[in-house]
């Protein structure tokens, strides 16, 4: 796919060195932590249950069908596990591969449209952007959809700007379809045809022109629909064969409520129209430092009718507008824009990086960040922050507080040493080196340090110790990380079901074998059960993921007590879900 035959030996070395560096930076920490909320435990649990049940068509979360997302992410996680046989490694591999794919495609488009350096600098800008590193090192769907959309745009742009290349066009349309069955917004890659149509109608030079090829353009629609219809048709037929209300509700929720209804009438993550402005400014730092220098150059090239700048830039603006219209917004929605925005700056990178103000500003930021981190570490080490001490106690990290403030000191030292080594003349390199050090330290230091409390691994080990090795634990008002990290036999009573319903089912189940069973329950849910639970006979397990958890035996359940409907809250909100 990435043709390096036309490159010089030095250019090939630079590219592969960059990809190796990206692999180290993005891959650091894999295997050192378990899935962390919000989304990671949910997705891994679904993938794990696919393997255990053998049902790869209908995802499950516990005993319930999971209809919030199409299955591609879960398929890839499960497939990765089948290869490496370790969930600690497998669950992060789809994001890692999507990130590397995005970087390789960004470089390849940049060098095909401009030159090797333009592509390389664009890929570096994407890699070191804060949001890219943060998200690609997590197991969420958004890095994967970014990879699919970038791959689709790669095929489309090769045809639209360096064509005719019908195979690349059909391939891009097909990948956009794969993006749809990963997350519905995969179709947005096809918006690239809008600025192309404008440029072609206005007779811009440099765009592909064809005559009498309407049927070839139409094949793009077939290529796009092929994966969508193949998967969607299989789901509809299988759901019909099951013939139960649960599967009918799954189809309705997946194909209607989670797509058009969610866009038109968002019910989570409500944000103002201008929400994405700070995302573009701060989440894409340090790439965002180039905006002031890029703006006049964009205007110049747009006036000169340069389609290689206009297509990725206008497509990026279209996506920002598209995601700004609904009330529900998340910063990760814009991830596919990042590589296209970097490509719209591709022809200017070498000139921009030579600007004195940018070099000095980057140096100053590297030094300032370093000193701030050193100061924070020293402040924490001297015990001046009661808030910090409280957080450590909540996470049960009181004995290793020195490791936490030591991490701040190490990060600060990395920035300061980078500033001292590169100096103002190479301030951009100093800033990028400091950012690299930060992410390596976070990955190799913070991940194992915070894993037990962030993943609920420690909590579930404690629950097993209290319940006994052979006891079966029933989950009430649980979160995905509880079922995923549970050790030994467990049982759930639904996830979306009201807490009162879950508790009633669990209490009946417990009464059937009180010596061999225990109930694991969220403190907030336990309080809402009111007089139905004898708090004095309950055992506190611990605190994890901002919640307190308890263990109940049969003696803690008040006989013949039914919680009132008013007590039936449900904390099943999809954390982090769009």
| Contact indicator for 349, 121 with CB cutoff of 8 Å | yes
The count of domains in the chain is: 3
Question: Does an H or E element contain 102, and which?
Answer: helix 93-113
Alpha-carbon distance of 189 to 169, in angstroms, equals 12
Top pLDDT among 424 and 405 is at 424
Average pLDDT over the chain, rounded to an integer: 92
Token pair, residue 30, equals 């894999």
Same domain, 227 and 207: yes
pLDDT higher than 80, residue 567: no
> Terminal CA-to-CA distance of the chain, rounded, Å?
32
Residue at which a domain ends, from 454, 485, 520: 454
Rounded distance between C-alpha atoms, residue 46 and residue 363, angstroms: 45
> Are residues 316 and 340 in contact, defined by beta-carbon separation less than 8 angstroms?
yes
Spatial separation of the C-alpha atoms in residues 139 and 73, rounded to whole Å:
9
75 assigned to some structural domain: no
pLDDT at 29 over 60: yes
The DSSP code for 206 is T
pLDDT band, very low/low/confident/very high, at 565 (cuts 50, 70, 90): low
Whether residue 197 sits in one domain with residue 300: yes
Under a CB-based contact definition with an 8 Å cutoff, are residues 131 and 95 in contact?
Answer: no
Residue 260's pLDDT is 61
Q: Is the distance from CB of 358 to CB of 289 less than 8 angstroms?
A: yes
The answer to which of 252-266, 328-342, 444-458, 518-532 has the lowest mean pLDDT is 252-266
Residue 290 has pLDDT above 70, yes or no: yes
Give which of 79, 74, 126, 121 is closest to 102, Cα–Cα.
126
Question: Stretch 531-553: mean pLDDT, rounded?
Answer: 93
For residues 115, 116, 117, 123, the Cα torsion angle rounded to the nearest 10 degrees is 110
Considering the domain architecture, whether residues 392 and 496 belong to the same structural domain is answered as no
**473-494 pLDDT, tens digit each:** 999 999 999 999 998 999 999 9
- Please report which confidence band the pLDDT of residue 263 belongs to, taking 50, 70 and 90 as the band edges: low
- Inform me whether the pLDDT recorded for 262 exceeds 70: no
387 neighbors 395 (Cβ within 8 angstroms): no
What is the pLDDT at residue 571?
45
Residue 398, pLDDT score: 65
Lowest mean pLDDT: which of 118-132, 165-179, 248-262, 370-384? 248-262
Identify the three-state secondary structure at position 475: strand
* Domain contains 343: yes
Clarify whether residues 184 and 323 are in a common domain.
yes
Residue 329 shares a structural domain with residue 201: yes
Q: 337-364: b or e for each residue (b if 16 or more CB lie within 10 Å)?
A: bbbbbbbbbbbbbeebbeeeebbebbbe
Structural domain boundaries enclosing 430: 356-454
- Classify burial at 205, counting beta carbons within 10 Å of its beta carbon; exposed 0-12, middle 13-18, buried 19 or more: exposed
| Residue 560: predicted pLDDT | 86
The answer to whether residue 264 scores a pLDDT higher than 90 is no
Q: Is residue 6 part of a domain?
A: no
Q: Are residues 212 and 327 in the same domain?
A: yes
What is the reported pLDDT for 173?
98
Q: How far apart are CA 373 and CA 417, in angstroms?
A: 13
Within this chain, do residues 183 and 98 fall inside the same structural domain, yes or no?
Answer: yes
Q: Does 159 score more than 70 pLDDT?
A: yes
Q: Which of 429, 454, 479 is the last residue of a domain?
A: 454
Same domain, 483 and 434: no
State the pTM of this model. Answer: 0.93
Distance CA 414, CA 426 (A): 16
Gap between the Cα atoms of 153 and 113, Å rounded: 13
What's the confidence (pLDDT) of residue 312? 98
d(CA 14, CA 273): 41
- Residue 504 resides in a domain: yes
CA–chain centroid gap for 320, Å, is 18
Domain closes at, from 352, 380, 410: 352
Do residue 439 and residue 495 come from a single domain? no
Question: Could you tell me if residue 73 is inside a domain?
Answer: no
83 in a structural domain: no
What is the reported pLDDT for 453?
82
């Amino acid at each position: 796919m990435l043709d390096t035959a036309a490159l010089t030996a030095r250019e090939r070395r630079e590219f592969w060195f960059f990809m190796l560096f990206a692999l180290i930076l993005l891959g650091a920490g894999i295997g050192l932590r378990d899935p962390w909320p919000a989304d990671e435990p949910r997705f891994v649990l679904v993938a794990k249950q696919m393997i255990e049940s053998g049902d790869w068509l209908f995802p499950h979360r516990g005993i319930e069908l999971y209809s919030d997302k199409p299955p591609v992410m879960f398929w890839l996680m499960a497939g990765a596990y089948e290869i490496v046989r370790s969930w600690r490694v497998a669950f992060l591999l789809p994001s890692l591969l999507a990130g590397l794919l995005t970087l390789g495609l960004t470089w390849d488009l940049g060098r095909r449209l401009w030159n090797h350096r333009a592509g390389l600098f664009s890929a570096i800008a994407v890699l070191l952007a804060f949001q890219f590193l943060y998200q690609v090192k997590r197991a969420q769907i958004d890095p994967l959809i970014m990879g699919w959309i970038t791959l689709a745009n790669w095929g489309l742009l090769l045809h639209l700007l360096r064509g005719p290349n019908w195979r690349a066009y059909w391939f891009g349309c097909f990948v956009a379809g794969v993006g749809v069955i990963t997350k519905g917004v995969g179709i947005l890659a096809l918006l690239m045809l809008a600025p192309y149509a404008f440029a072609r109608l206005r007779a811009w030079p440099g765009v592909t022109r064809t005559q009498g090829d309407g049927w070839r353009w139409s094949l793009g629609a077939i290529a796009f629909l092929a994966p969508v219809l193949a998967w969607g048709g299989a789901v509809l037929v299988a759901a019909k064969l099951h013939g139960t209300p649960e599967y009918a509700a799954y189809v309705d929720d997946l194909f209607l409520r989670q797509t058009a209804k969610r866009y038109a009438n968002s019910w989570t993550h409500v944000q103002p129209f201008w929400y994405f402005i700070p995302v573009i400014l701060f989440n894409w730092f340090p790439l965002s430092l180039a905006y002031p220098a890029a703006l006049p150059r964009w205007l110049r090239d747009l006036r000169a009718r340069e389609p290689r700048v206009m297509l990725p830039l206008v497509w990026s603006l279209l996506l920002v507008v598209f995601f700004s219209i609904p009330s529900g917004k998340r910063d990760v929605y814009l991830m596919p824009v990042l590589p296209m925005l970097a490509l719209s700056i591709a022809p200017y990178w070498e000139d921009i990086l030579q600007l004195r103000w940018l070099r000095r500003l980057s140096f100053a930021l590297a030094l300032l960040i370093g000193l701030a981190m050193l100061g924070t570490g020293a402040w924490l080490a001297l015990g001046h922050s009661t808030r910090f001490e409280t957080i450590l106690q909540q996470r049960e990290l009181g004995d290793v507080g020195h490791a936490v403030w030591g991490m701040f000191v190490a990060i600060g030292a990395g920035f300061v040493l980078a500033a001292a080594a590169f100096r103002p003349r190479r301030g951009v390199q100093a800033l990028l080196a400091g950012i690299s050090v930060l992410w390596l330290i976070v990955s190799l230091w913070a991940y194992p340090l915070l894993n037990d409390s962030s993943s609920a691994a420690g909590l579930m080990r404690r629950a097993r110790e209290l319940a006994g090795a052979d006891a079966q634990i029933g989950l009430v008002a649980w979160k995905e990380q509880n079922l995923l990290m549970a050790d030994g036999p467990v049982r759930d009573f639904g996830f979306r079901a009201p807490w009162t319903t879950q508790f009633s089912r669990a209490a009946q189940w417990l009464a059937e074998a009180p010596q061999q069973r225990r109930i694991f329950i969220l403190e907030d849910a336990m309080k809402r059960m009111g007089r139905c639970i004898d708090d004095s006979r309950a055992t506190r397990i611990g605190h994890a993921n901002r919640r307190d958890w308890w263990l109940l035996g049969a003696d803690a359940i008040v006989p013949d007590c039914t919680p009132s409907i008013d007590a039936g809250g449900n904390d099943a909100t999809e954390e982090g879900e769009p």
